Amino acid sequence: MKKTLLLVLMLILMVGGLVQANSFVDDLGREIELDHTPTRLISLAPAVTEILFALELDEEIIGVSNHCDYPEAALEKPKVGDINVDFEAIVDKEPDLVFMTAGMDEDRQKIEELGFPVAVVDPSTIDETLNSIEWIGEITGHSLQAAELLDWMEERIAEIREKAAELEATPRVYYEVWDEPLMTAGPNTFVHDIIIISGGENIAGDLQQEWAPYSEEEVIASDPEIIIVPWEDDRVYDRSSWEDITAVQNENVFFVNPDLMVRPGPRIIEGLELVFEIIGGAVQ
């Protein structure tokens, strides 16, 4: 009798665990319930695609956006659109779950009207990125892989934070998101976190917006000691009005692949390591 009761309790706990694992809240605060662990996944966001591959969900991915270009295996996945979603392709694929970013409300509603659940992944900071990876692992049944990935990421962040604390200076850093018009990253962004953790000071750290225009006059007045850009050319050095900026005078203008800076996924650690190397080299 006791054994029977024990088995019943175990079954209840197992069922309860399954229900909980398939009921989750996405990054928009929307509660979503699935009747089973999703095994047919579509990603309309490059960062999410990178997360899914990092969680060893290669076989479960049945469609990605045209912009999903990493890892290389993502290029071989069927394409289902980007800002222009191919709804017919999504219907044909019959996904268990579609991942999207914020700002695609009409497309999300259309996909849900077609009968497919949608999870919105939209972290702003590194901490939020870690949180997104955790719940994506949970709902896809890959919590173990997510835990291992998060342990590695958190360890690398802690190591860089510790090394950055030993730097003798805190250089002013300007990250250029775009040049026409000039745009940069303010607080509550991955870029801001990367700069701060790496031992720098984001000159746009007091902006009221996350991603915002930043005038040439503001850049010059802030006199950054390091400038990081997302392109491999000399356009910064070609700006005659910038010739007196410390970073320009000392030739401390660096290219970093923007995918490592603004895609909220595992490779953000690579961006963090590169920026730390830049800052560390500049203050020596």
Q: Which tens digit of pLDDT belongs to each residue from 164-177?
A: 999 999 999 999 99
Q: Which domain holds residue 196?
A: 167-283
Among residues 149, 177, 197, which one ends one of the domains?
149
Q: Using a cut of 0.85, tell me whether the model's pTM lies above it.
A: yes
Residues 123 and 86 in one domain: yes
Which pLDDT does position 282 carry in this prediction?
84
Percent of the chain residues topping a pLDDT of 70: 92
Query: Does 6 fall in a domain?
Result: no
Asked, for residue 1, whether it belongs to a domain, the answer is no
Average pLDDT over residues 198-215: 96
Query: Is 207 found in the same domain as 127?
Result: no
Residue 2: helix, strand or coil by DSSP? helix
Same-domain status, 133 and 232: no
> Is the domain of 139 the same as that of 217?
no
Q: Is pLDDT above 50 for 158?
A: yes
21-28 LR contacts (CB < 8 Å, sep 24+): 21/138, 21/139, 21/141, 22/139, 24/119, 24/135, 24/138, 24/139, 25/135, 26/119, 26/120, 26/121, 26/135, 27/102, 27/120, 27/121, 27/122, 27/123, 27/128, 27/132, 28/102, 28/120, 28/122
Three-state DSSP class for 109?
helix
136 and 184: one domain?
Answer: no
- What total of structural domains would you count in the chain? 2
Boundary-marking domain end, from 106, 123, 149: 149
Determine, yes or no, domain membership for 193: yes
Whether residue 135 sits in one domain with residue 33: yes
Specify the range with the lowest mean pLDDT, choosing from 5-19, 97-111, 127-141, 260-274: 5-19
| 121 and 235, same domain (yes or no) | no
Same domain, 23 and 140: yes
- Is 70 exceeded by the pLDDT of residue 87? yes
pLDDT at 204 over 90: yes
pLDDT of 100-139, one tens digit each?
Answer: 999 999 999 999 999 999 999 999 999 999 999 999 999 9
Residue 27 predicted with pLDDT over 70: yes
The answer to the question of residue 89 being in a domain is yes
Tens digit of each residue's pLDDT (9 = 90 or more) over 239-258: 999 999 999 999 999 999 99
Q: What pLDDT was estimated at residue 22?
A: 73
Average pLDDT over residues 207-227: 96
205 and 84 in one domain?
Answer: no
Indicate if 73 and 191 belong to the same structural domain.
no
Provide the pLDDT confidence category of residue 94 given band limits of 50, 70 and 90: very high
